[in-house]
A and B are shown apart, each in its own frame.
Chain A
């Protein structure tokens, strides 16, 4: 290969964790195409570097940190001077991202954009509409969840290009991680945001898989000693805002171990932030009993202190209490400082027993009845018990390994190994409790206890795993097979005589079967739909993480409400100069999973001449 053409090659393989609360970027050198040295799981692990991201932490003050808090601050014009918001690469609209946004937003929450990622999966909002900060006064500039995502990526790009001006991020191969539970629309939004940022060489990876890749990287060759054929690895990822679950089965194909991601869980908005909040409110109640009322800013400060105190108490079983001190806001410190303490037993009751209760495996999350008038907000999990969510997941996925491992499981699927990820599970007491719960279920069912896989950095694993995956997918290393983690269905009104006061019953047509792999497509045979030229037509859209035997074209006239999850509606608009508006065109639907991991659905005219894209992101 000539020198000239080599200069244009990507020099780095990049992994980006676009987290709900923190963004992290990891990278490794691109394998030298001349020497053909490709990283292989089992080779000495390639070095995975972390990008230190310069960010404002205070007005006018820039620090480099490996985590960029996923927050944006929409400052008032008279709040900050131009110098205050300058970054090493100059000032821009995205300057107030990261540490400073969280810092300013703590005192002025009406201007703080947070948890944008959780909105991407929200069924009832249009993610391209400016809605954040939610409920802020009219003169605060609002942005859409999509725009927030784009700005975080844009910020990472600026930080990268500042560090590597010779190798702009746009020219590198980039893997972006998404929650395994992200629906097709949320994946599309993430890809669009990345494309708009100029990232073209792009692939998506599920976060729990990224954690497994990081584990493979950390183990080197030893991973084969830790798991073997027939093992089922449960990945539990409890981050700041979300809990993400996946199952990976280990199989033996012609003497080689293979990893198969066989199931993913629902999108559960439950994480470390809920825990800090729970502790702060517990302390608030304790102080209220002493006749001390807390103001909102004091609770905010308490939450912050509880985060540190919690970690200290959870990692040191001998520590009985940690003092929590909230100083006054004014310059008079003495005599105005609020003091209490967080005790070991409070943490035990609130966190360990509250979020990780020792419940039986057949006890699943309680759905509380929602009040008729709910404000537009994120669909936070109503049951805080992670153990019940986990039990529901394992029970629902009882058959997940039947096909690949040739098993006949009963009751719930039985993991043989557990990999933890996410900041929350850094706390030994919580990780131990979760292992106790899982092994309790297993011993109830007379199964062997699962072993805990260790050796990963729980805060940085996703980005690192993504960078490693980026290297492995062009080498001979072990890849996790999976395909799409859900089957998808289009709702069709069945043809039957109209009955007054009753909606026509709905049938579900499978358009994309479970496990469809990247780069494949599935035509939906026979079943034709009539679309009207020039008019947007909406379809109900469903996903199922447990119906793994339906093939494309399967028509369901009955299903268990638990099996099919209603997703945001999808829309097809037929534009065709050759046909008159209003004409009904018979079409079939064809699904395709792109190389980068997104689902595409197309309406194909009967003659096969014309194709129209079906859009996922049409919520409003």
Chain B
């Protein structure tokens, strides 16, 4: 894996990277959109619920409350990913006409910088420690926000099934503080060399 780019098309890795990143950025974008549109449209709030708010308890709530995500943190993260991983540059390009070696070289920039960014600003932990494809049992009262049941979902806990994905959880977020009045919508300043 470390050596030669002409043999690079280990497609799944690259695709995963790109797809994962696309999904991630879509979510970030949607959060921004959700904030900007008022009133929040149903689709965006739906996404938000999945990402941010744990499933509400079945209490007789008067009206469901949604908090709007602030765009500041989202834009700040985009700026960091652009700065460290050139993420926006990468997504804004049309991959057509480029060889996998070219895409691979660029993917390394994105991967290296993205990984550093995640490491610097988040402490990410898998939700389940078991290895994937192994059998796991969920006892009654498991956290439904952390573990999602899929497939043949019937009966009562305990549930036994195959762990498809271990999940990820941000155990800690330490994003830089932003000065009041700093224009966060500038994701990357234009650069003019004199």
Contact = CB atoms under 8 A, between A and B. Distances in A.
Q: Do A and B associate with each other?
A: yes
A339 B177 contact: no
Contacts, number: 79
B182 A322 contact: no
A214 to B, nearest CB: 26
A321 B3 contact: yes
A84 B179 contact: yes
B126 interface: no
Give the one of B112, B176, B191 with max A CB within 10 A.
Answer: B176
Interface string B87-106: 00110110100100011011
Interface string A286-328: 0000000000000000000000000000000001111101010
Contacts of B103: 334
A60 B182 contact: yes
Nearest to B3: A321
A84 B2 contact: no
Interface string A62-105: 11100000000000000000011010100000000000000000
A327 B86 contact: yes
Contacts of A322: 2
B177 A61 contact: yes
Contacts of B176: 57-58, 61-63
B181 interface: yes
B93 A332 contact: yes
B19 interface: no
A323 B102 contact: no
Interface string A211-238: 0000000000000000000000000000
A370 interface: no
B157 to A, nearest CB: 43
A322 B3 CA distance: 8
A221 to B, nearest CB: 34
Interface in A325-352: 325, 327, 329, 331-335, 337, 339, 341
A612 to B, nearest CB: 51
B181 A331 contact: no
Contacts of B183: 60
B108 A323 contact: yes
Contact size class for B? 20 to 34
A109 interface: no
Interface residues of A, number: 30
Nearest to A326: B109
Contact of A319 (B2, B76, B93, B106): B2
Interface string B167-194: 0000000101111111100000001010
Contacts of A332: 89, 93
Contact of B109 (A88, A320, A327, A335): A327
A586 interface: no
Contact of A334 (B76, B93, B112, B182): B93
B177 A62 contact: yes
Contacts of B112: 325
A64 B83 CA distance: 18
B76 A337 contact: no
A335 B179 contact: no
A256 B180 CA distance: 59
Contact of A337 (B102, B174, B178): B102
A86 B108 CA distance: 34
B106 A59 contact: no
Nearest to A57: B176
B111 to A, nearest CB: 10
Contact of B76 (A61, A88, A320): A61
B24 interface: no
B5 interface: yes
Nearest to A64: B174
A107 B191 CA distance: 10
A331 B177 contact: no
Nearest to A319: B2
A335 B182 contact: no
Contacts of A59: 182
Contacts of B79: 58
Contacts of A64: 174
A92 to B, nearest CB: 14
B187 to A, nearest CB: 11
A329 B109 CA distance: 12
Contacts of A320: 2-3
Nearest to A99: B176
A59 B89 CA distance: 20
A334 B102 contact: yes
A321 B5 CA distance: 13
Nearest to B188: A331
Contact of B105 (A57, A60, A86, A325): A325
Interface in B5-50: 5
Contacts of B2: 319-323, 341
Contacts of B179: 60-62, 83-84, 86
12 contacts: A57-B176, A58-B176, A60-B178, A86-B179, A86-B180, A325-B109, A327-B89, A329-B191, A332-B93, A333-B109, A334-B102, A335-B102
User: Lowest 4 A-B CB distances belong to which pairs?
Assistant: A60-B182, A83-B181, A61-B176, A63-B176
